[in-house]
Structure 1
Amino acid sequence: MSNDQSVLVVSATRSEAKHVPDGTRLLITGIGKVSTAIALTRALSDGPPVDLVVNIGTAGALHAHHSGLFVPSTVIEHDISSAELTAMGYPVVDSWTLPDGDGTVLASGDTFVADPIRRDELARRADLVDMEGCAIAHVSAEFGVPCRLVKVVSDSADEAAMEWPTFVDAAARELGTWLRDADLVGRSVVAPG
């Protein structure tokens, strides 16, 4: 990554961004698709130019063999009735392909997945689940800005997911290390959140 590129690192929570390197241009959006879409839209509309959006955060694993850090190749919005809306004549985009991914699929929606039955349903379509990735991809695409999603597995999207707060710091450390290694340092800008 060239240091002359303007990179905006986006995180839903300050705890997930706790170990972002100093000097990184950072936007904290709040949890969920709506707050994320609003915050990123404002940043891309009103802020300095952005060449790349990098979303860092945690994700639930939808398969037992998934752990560690992932850079998804595809993100799908799992909680919108796209097939039904399209059938009624209102086509909905609910999937985005991302460059430089590792082949994993991230299911994204406003539902905090802590139910094994819901996890198993999502596992038929995806590898990981989060609450902001599709909003990042959607807004970035609307502005013509490439984006990359970087997720660390924090839980298994089951009953244990309610322990998420206890796992966030370890995930944040891994995300901070990834950012340092990727050399994604720019000007520091933090939005309220």
Structure 2
Amino acid sequence: MSMLGDQSVAPHSLEKEAMAAQPKPQNRPVSNIVIIVAMQTEALPVVNRIQLTQDFHSSFPQGVPWVRYHGTYKDLNINLIWAGKDPALGVDSIGTIPSALVTYAAIQTLQPDLIINVGTAGGFKAKGASIGDIFIVSDCAFHDRRIPIPDFDLYGVGSRKAFETPNLIKELNLKVAKLSTGDSFDMTQEDESLINANDATVVDMEGAAIAYVADLLKVPAIFVKAVTNTIDGEFGNKPSAEEFLQNLAAVTAELALAVEQIINFVKGKYISEL
């Protein structure tokens, strides 16, 4: 596990940065980006690649484990928020609840023009997903919120469009897929049925929750997902969890490169030009 070391960049108050927020993004090029990440192994390759610095004096509520990295990259103000380690168990705070809370707090405090959710995902080989593939998400939905009551059933699925980025997809030649989100790593038969109903190629544990908050607060959000494990079958006779851990380091390195390319594309552009 790599450490960032002692980087001599003076910490900035989150409130001051929020107060200094520019006008709405449609009136100027994107200048303020928040990246939301669930796992440290997903966060650090991005942090190191675009040279962000940890803020040890963050004004997030006392007691939350969330970690903020920030910096300026090619004139863009970048904040990466990692959900941190669970205070009781010391594992990454994965899942929908931490990601929704982090997204809400980051939007309220940092007033981003654009949110980028960066993370790993499982993929369906039958739908063309291979280990290491990187997808831009077109649609997000849940597959484990089963509420068999009229209208509440649709609320449970919570289907939402991600912010459309046709120019970015074309320029970087990225694959596009629908995403299904649930709070379990395994897949029951009911989950599988609903994932299929969502027409999902990739599956994660955060995306649809982030999409919900971003939609609620009207902040454009894009989702960048890299495939670490296959869902429909085993790879090299390894169960999906083992496959995930085996591929995690290599895939997150490629994911960080893709994030850098996306940020380079965003620089100088209006939201409508993405």
**Band the TM-score falls in, shorter-chain normalisation:** 0.7 to 0.9
RMSD value over aligned CA atoms?
2.6
Following superposition, the deviation at residue 41 of structure 1 comes to 1.2
Question: What do residues 117-168 of structure 1 show as CA deviations (whole Å, max 9, x unaligned)?
Answer: 5675324521111000001100111111010000000001256221122211
How far apart in 1 are the matches of 2:190 and 2:139? 20
Partner SS for 1:144: coil
- Cα separation, 2, equivalents of 1:61 and 1:12: 18
Which stretch of the first structure deviates more once superposed, 61-70 or 131-140? 61-70
- TM-score scaled by length of structure 2: 0.59
Q: Percent identity?
A: 27
Q: Which residue of 1 aligns with 2:38?
A: 12
Q: 1:5 to 1:141 in 2, by over 3 A?
A: same
User: Structure 1, residues 19-56: CA drift from partner, whole Å, max 9, x if none?
Assistant: 102134111122000111111111212x2211111001
| Matching residue of 2:263 | 183
| Structure 1 residues 183 and 138: alpha-carbon distance in aligned structure 2, compared to 1, 3 A threshold | same
Give the number of equivalent residue pairs: 181
- CA 1:119 to 1:80, structure 2 compared with 1: closer, same or farther past 3 Å? closer
Which structure has the higher relative contact order (CA within 8 Å, separation 6+)?
1
> Within 2, Cα distance between the matches of 1:17 and 1:181?
16
Q: Please, which moves more after superposition, 161-170 or 50-59?
A: 161-170
Larger Rg: 2
The alignment status of 1:166 with 2:246, answered yes or no, reads yes
Counterpart residue number, 1:190: none
**Structure 1, gaps ≥5 residues long:** 187-193
Alignment of 1:52-91 (within 5 A): 52-64=114-126, 65-67=128-130, 68-82=133-147, 84-85=148-149, 87=150
After TM superposition, give the deviation of residue 70 of structure 1 in Å. Answer: 0.3
Pairwise CA distance, 1:113: 2.8
TM-score normalised according to structure 1 size: 0.82
